[in-house]
Amino acid sequence: MVQTREPARPGATARVEYITAEGYRRLEEEASFLWNTKRPQVVSALADAAAEGDRSENAEYIYRKRQVAEIDRRLRFLGQRMDALTMVAEKPRDDGRVYFGCYVTVEDEVGEAKRYRIVGADEWDTSRSEISMDSPMGRALLGKRVDDEVLVKRPKGDIYLTIVDVSVDP
């Protein structure tokens, strides 16, 4: 007799995914740019390439068709992600704990301090010092307070960090 595992109820294991208002706005701006600016430009270039004649050997036509398909694919993805995300517009509580949306200053073992903002998985950007709440560091920091020491298990090796400051404002 073969035993099979009962499937989970639809949505029973679904995780709520968060995004800051700024991150959501960036996704909206990208979708708007693709739909209102980029796609019309590419479609116009596609029409020009199609007017040149034999489409089967027209590299420009083939390239533009692929470009339109890539834009449409990205627009579908953005629409699905934006529908699935829960935007957190209000500031986190200012009680000294690290929450989603907080700015956290940490100091490593050699005394080097760095400041990060805890954001959603769809918006992290190291150039803006934003880290995902789902990253090893984000998971280690959430819920901690100033002067707490946390162990961050990273692929390139574990590191101890001390939380120096937590704020809700940049």
pLDDT, tens only, 99-144: 999 999 999 999 999 999 999 999 999 899 999 999 999 999 999 9
pLDDT at 1 over 50: no
Q: How far apart are CA 71 and CA 64, in angstroms?
A: 10
Confidence of residue 14 (pLDDT cuts 50, 70, 90): low
Average pLDDT, the chain: 90
For range 137-161, the mean pLDDT: 93
Alpha helices in 85-143 (DSSP H): 136-141
CATH class of the region 103-167: alpha beta
Q: What is the DSSP letter of 37?
A: I
pLDDT at 33 over 60: yes
pLDDT at 57 over 90: no
pLDDT of res. 8: 47
Residue type, 38: K
The per-residue pLDDT for 55 is: 79
Among residues 41, 36, 59, the alpha carbon closest in space to that of 49 is found at 59
Residue 80 pLDDT level (bands cut at 50, 70, 90): very high
What mean pLDDT do residues 65-78 have? 97
Class of CATH domain 17-88: mainly alpha
Contacts of 37 (CB under 8 A, 6+ apart): none
Contact between 138 and 144 under an 8 Å Cβ cutoff? The reply is: no
Q: What count of other Cβ atoms lies within 10 Å of the Cβ of residue 141? A: 25
Task: Sketch the domain layout of the chain as residue ranges.
Answer: 17-88, 103-167
HEC profile of 46-101:
HHHHHCCCCCCCCHHHHHHHHHHHHHHHHHHHHHHHHHHEEEECCCCCCCCECCCC
